[in-house]
Structure 1
């Protein structure tokens, strides 16, 4: 139902349904909040994309022209030309807000041009007056000066560039030989404060429709950069043996949050938190099925701030998992959300026998695969069923490299899972054909 044509058709039927008394006016508002606007058709989206691309090309061209003649110019001329792109960008943004405030293409284009102009002005002024500084300092300054553009212009690209810039800044020099451990940790913690500055922009977009393309794009960049700040903060600063619990809490919190607030999305592309969180959690669970992982029990004493962050993610994960249980979502997705508890139990068992932890994690991943497969069969969802088969196949593939299992057993396991894969797909396709 997320296809824009279907949503547009639904909106066209709403006035008649309200007049006929079939649905109340309050439901119309809720539906519009749920699905967002539909003005961004394929043509309008293309206009927006071309506007962003055109602004980026113009900005890059101006920078190249300046660079070509830069050495022949006086310092005063260089200074004037350094600020010129930024002033032009500000004027363009002002004109857009005054004359085209409702045009997404103009807001995105003007915001993109001004964002690039800010970066070029900083770099050119620093080069002209030999101000020095590192690339990381330049990146952070650029990001902080460009973030207001995202809010003022309601533009997406400046917000996305901000997320990428702060993640790059946090991880670029970590752990550098000349950057002390305390300084590096302070930088990784600062990432969270910088991230908090951008999240209100996302929440404002969500209020206009949680399935809008701006919300989805921000969500994808967020979940792809967020692990940088998280794992840098935890690096060598929490109890070493408990890392499976902290990491599983991070991935499952993302997954459960996506399930709670974007669970009705029509495609995987609209579910960034769920998709990345599920992949991370399943990948971690598979890694925990190896014995060597549970033989590393050394304790690393670190800062309370890093431990607080890890505990906060664990509490968030358990709270979201408990909320899904209260809402009666007893499904394979709830089983995936239980990973931190299973990892914690495996950590306790590993103190006596690493093999017991391996057996527990193998049993958990097997149960997860069977649960997802069964859910797919019940709902006749081919994608869900294949996801369950893929989990089981990944588990078998991991055991392929386990030297404690014989070649014959591994070969039979692969054959059986392959036959099951083909059979399940054939049965599902026949059921779908019969239903039609």
Structure 2
């Protein structure tokens, strides 16, 4: 909403200054209205209210669980599910998508709580991850039948909960999440295409990155990092070299390039962390510096190849480059000089980094004058 208001102010200013004519200004406003997400502050508050209301219903039912008969318990859960899904569909049929999606979310939360409460009531066997898996499956079916973007996002969030619940080794198959999480995310990606739930795409990308890190830590195997670095680098290079092709295939080229870029850098940072945590020996510092140079090289490559057109890649590269320079300085120079000298060196480094960013921004601005960024 704030971005839209800001753009409207800029359009009015351009129109007033004569940079664009009245017809162009009106076309820009109509384009903003037609491509608006329709999910501004009101939609966010509606979803937040749905989450809080769902939590209130769960707390109320759980607090009075023993005082109700079994029939009342089951009937109450089914009633909330029915009101949520049917009420949401009714509101959507009237054109009220915000509260319709909020009612869907209340029903999805109630479904998960109902699984836990009914399982406790009838002493059903199974562990937490099995219950969460049933929850995500039911939410996916609801998202498919109701074509609900918010239920797709909820499915991705519950899949993340399943990932971390699966790390509990007390019961169930210990490593079933290795193949189940990618399958669930693949289904969610299909639901994103079907429901046009664009927000869920970011959740899927973030959960995939979390999945890679969890697998690396859980299995203590660097193979997944190499694979993630390769795939991340491939997506980044496709966006940098052939953005039109990637956009035609996915319709999400810049974001995929940015997520691929951050995945590549995270894998390299994890390799550096592994070297640092393996112990101090004669090869530790040189190996850290070697990986550090690879990180710096990738950061500069990101700026050169796609920083002029992909703002996310640009600022990821700036951030990682700056932090890596300071880290290498701390690991090498910082161990050999005193505190005051280190702060002096760090201050000089930060000023040099600032000069680097300013010069790079000017170069990138010349390559893409349409995007103006204030430094």
- TM-score where L is the length of structure 2: 0.68
The 5 Å alignment of 1:58-77 reads 58-77=53-72
Q: Report the count of equivalent residues.
A: 339
Match of 1:84 in 2: 79
Cα shift at 1:108: 0.9
Cα shift at 1:189: 0.9
Find the aligned partners of 1:61 and 1:385 in 2 and give their Cα distance: 40
The secondary structure found in structure 2 opposite 1:125 is: helix
Find the aligned partners of 1:290 and 1:119 in 2 and give their Cα distance: 38
- TM-score where L is the length of structure 1: 0.60
Find the aligned partners of 2:265 and 2:71 in 1 and give their Cα distance: 58
Question: Is 1:103 matched up with 2:35?
Answer: no
Question: Is 1:192 matched up with 2:182?
Answer: yes
When the two chains are superposed, the root-mean-square deviation of aligned CA atoms in Å is 5.0
Question: Is 1:218 matched up with 2:200?
Answer: yes
Match of 1:281 in 2: 264
Cα shift at 1:15: 12
Match of 1:391 in 2: 321
Question: Is 1:149 matched up with 2:142?
Answer: yes
Match of 2:368 in 1: none
Match of 2:331 in 1: 401
For structure 2, list consecutive stretches of 5 or more residues without a partner in the other structure: 13-19, 248-252, 366-371
Cα shift at 1:378: 8.4
Does structure 1 conserve the Cα–Cα contact (< 8 Å) formed by 2:239 and 2:256? yes
In 2 relative to 1, CA 367–146 (structure 1 residues): closer, same or farther, beyond 3 Å? closer
Cα shift at 1:232: 4.9
Cα shift at 1:110: 2.5
Superposed CA offset, 1:355-396 (max 9, x none): 8866653443343455566789989x9x94894475055234
Match of 1:367 in 2: 297
Does structure 1 conserve the Cα–Cα contact (< 8 Å) formed by 2:308 and 2:314? no
Question: Is 1:170 matched up with 2:163?
Answer: yes
Does structure 2 conserve the Cα–Cα contact (< 8 Å) formed by 1:373 and 1:386? no
1:229 to 205, 211, 232: 211
Does structure 2 conserve the Cα–Cα contact (< 8 Å) formed by 1:285 and 1:365? yes
Does structure 2 conserve the Cα–Cα contact (< 8 Å) formed by 1:373 and 1:389? no
Cα shift at 1:148: 2.3
Match of 1:38 in 2: 35
Find the aligned partners of 1:80 and 1:60 in 2 and give their Cα distance: 18
Match of 2:194 in 1: 204
Higher relative contact order (CA 8 A, sep 6+): 1
Does structure 2 conserve the Cα–Cα contact (< 8 Å) formed by 1:256 and 1:274? yes
